Chain A
Amino acid sequence: MRLNRKFFLQIFFILILLILGWAILNNLIINLSRTGIGFNFYWLSKPAGFSLAEQPLRYSPSDTYAWALFIGWINSLKVIFSSLVFATFIGILIGFARLNKNSLIGLISAGYITVIRQTPLLLQLMFWYFVGFLNLRNNTFLNFKHLINFSIQGIDLFGIKFSSEFSALLFGLSIFSSAFIAEVIRGGILSVPFGQWEAFRSLGLSERKGFIKIIIPQALPAFIPGLTSQYLNLAKNSTLAIAVGYSDIYAINDTIINQTGRAIECFIILLSSFLILNLLITNIMGIINKLIIRSRK
């Protein structure tokens, strides 16, 4: 009897979903046929016709849409992984500083975290781009024997040039994410029982040695879930690149929709590319997690 009720409830739910889906699909088909666009992916092999400022591989406007999307995908990966490294580095630094006994350093890092966390990322990105880089005009801000060169063209590091859009995005994303990563690090270290601190002190280890040898290894597994979710957030936040004019996967999808009007196909492409990206990040973090657990045995 009870099983029957459950069964009918599920059937009912499926029916509702089907009716809803059918209504939406019906409206979609009517609207698409009215605009005369239709639904197919043949346009991917047609020439794109727009130029890209940022091209890690060779690209010209006569190349196909598919190639443009691939370039955007590579641009996204480039900015995500480079800001991921920087964000982790700054985040660890700030997280440790927050726990420092020196109250001044703790205060500075607490201030940094609230200011960064309580203002929108978009505002910070616009700040780094319009104030940070475009305000430099042509005179260079920091020119250190041609090793590092900050200018309106971006950063020139040992002769490798990074565009100002990329650099602004890198700065904004890594600083924004670092504040969140700092909180993850702090939480992880606080999760180690206080007895461990007392134990290594009573064994006569120095503060630094005990922190590195005793506390950090125990806190590492606690970092991983928080770090994974922050990295996923960073990957999703990187789509704000469009605000500073960096051509990542979302910006290129946006351009293609404006050109061809193929919103649904582009939505599917964007969805699948982010699913792949999420899987990539979660799997890499899963491998790191396994390595950490194995090293503890």
Chain B
Amino acid sequence: MSTKINKFKIFFLSKIKTCILLKPFSFFLNILFLSSIISLLLVSLNWIFFKANWSVINSNLSLFAFGSYPPNEQWRPSLWLVVLTFIALITIYGPKKKWLRKNLVFVWIGTVPLGIFLLKGGFGLIPVMSQNWGGLTLTILITSCSILFSLPFGILLALGRRSSLFVIRKSCSFYIDILRSIPLIAVLFFGQLLIPLFLPYGLEIDRVWRAIIAFTLFVSAYIAEDIRGGLQSIPKTQLEAANSLGLNKYQITRFILIPQSLRVALPALTNQVIGLLQNTSLMSILGLMELIGIGRSILANPEFIGQYIEVYIWLAIVYWILCTLMAFLSKQLEKKMSTNKGY
């Protein structure tokens, strides 16, 4: 008992020592930082509660969430967002049922067609043109669609880059290197301009889909590099073991290489997803009404002119929450996918 108290004492004394007693310079620095943080906090709290005019956010909440989606149909995107939140919660807290836990990835994949169906309409729902999609819904839709398409494409590219066939290897690395050297905004802009030129006359793809194609082409090059890193981390003994078990090339790729490399690459892939979510904001320059596009159009409204700080801080908070949530989700996924759970 007494040793416990002693340990406690020593711990606290050492804390106090490192904080205050031994280093007067550090102590002084701490006081300086603390006081400046507190004063900054007071100023910003004062601004948030008394000076800022939050009506620009309050009166436009539905715009921020759905863009100019018809008001009668807004239950559709909100239903999709609710489903997404629900699945995110399931992922975080861990599903009880075993089949759900095993097929969580497929549930996530399934949300994308569901979202497209709910937004687009058809099959009994009133069709809504993609010009009317906007806000948070559009941001999340572009992100999820691009990830869904670019993941398989990126895996193929990564496998192609390690292929033993000269032509495939060279063309895959050519594609990856070129796409990685151009800025995203250029890819998006030329995607909007050039995709119609490359398609046969008469066939048209609307803006949102052109953006998704451009994002897919761009992100898959980055994902390919991340997955290549994962592939390289797989020890050669795994391949030897698989060969000695008599698996063929397809089985080795499907059951040995891809799952392990995905697990290793998961943190890097999360960074790509977070980057993609942030980069969907570039579409506002090219005229799509996603979160920042909505913010820009609200700021252009004479009623809310000059209220930049409120709108920007609000948007920053929304993006920050989304990105942090994604990072958290991927940490949970990482835990679930980890092999060291005991046998």
Contact = CB atoms under 8 A, between A and B. Distances in A.
Q: Which of A10, A123, A126 has the most CB of B within 10 A?
A: A123
A271 B165 CA distance: 28
Interface stretch (A30-38, A164-172, A209-217): A30-38
Given A118-B274, A120-B278, A271-B182, A131 B168 contact: no
25 contacts: A6-B165, A10-B166, A10-B168, A27-B199, A105-B29, A114-B320, A117-B323, A119-B316, A120-B279, A122-B284, A123-B292, A123-B316, A126-B292, A130-B308, A130-B312, A135-B308, A237-B183, A238-B183, A240-B185, A243-B285, A257-B193, A270-B182, A271-B182, A274-B181, A274-B186
Interface residues of A, number: 52
Interface in A237-254: 237-240, 242-243, 250, 253-254
A188 B205 CA distance: 46
A32 B197 contact: yes
Contacts of B285: 122, 240, 242-243
A257 B193 CA distance: 10
Nearest to A238: B183
Interface string A263-292: 110010011001100100000000000000
A17 B175 CA distance: 12
Contacts of B190: 263, 267
B106 interface: no
A118 B292 contact: no
A50 interface: no
B37 A123 contact: no
Nearest to A122: B281
Contacts of A6: 164-165
Contacts of A294: none
A24 interface: yes
Interface string B47-59: 0000000000000
A34 B197 CA distance: 10
Given A108-B37, A123-B319, A250-B186, A102 B201 contact: no
B178 interface: yes
Contacts of B319: 118-120, 123
Contacts of B165: 6, 9-10, 13
Interface residues of B, number: 48
Contacts of B61: none
- Sorted nearest first, the 10 A-B pairs with minimum C-beta distance are A120-B278, A236-B183, A118-B323, A239-B183, A120-B281, A263-B193, A10-B167, A122-B281, A119-B316, A118-B320
Interface string A12-54: 0110010000001001101110100000000000000000000
B200 interface: yes
Given A10-B167, A263-B193, A123 B182 contact: no
Interface in B276-301: 278-279, 281-282, 284-285, 292
B14 to A, nearest CB: 12
A250 B183 contact: yes
Contact of A239 (B181, B185, B196, B278): B185
Nearest to A239: B183
B129 interface: no
A117 B33 CA distance: 22
A104 interface: yes
B201 A13 contact: no
Contacts of A275: 181
B197 A263 contact: yes
B232 interface: no
Interface in A113-137: 114-115, 117-123, 126-127, 130-131, 135
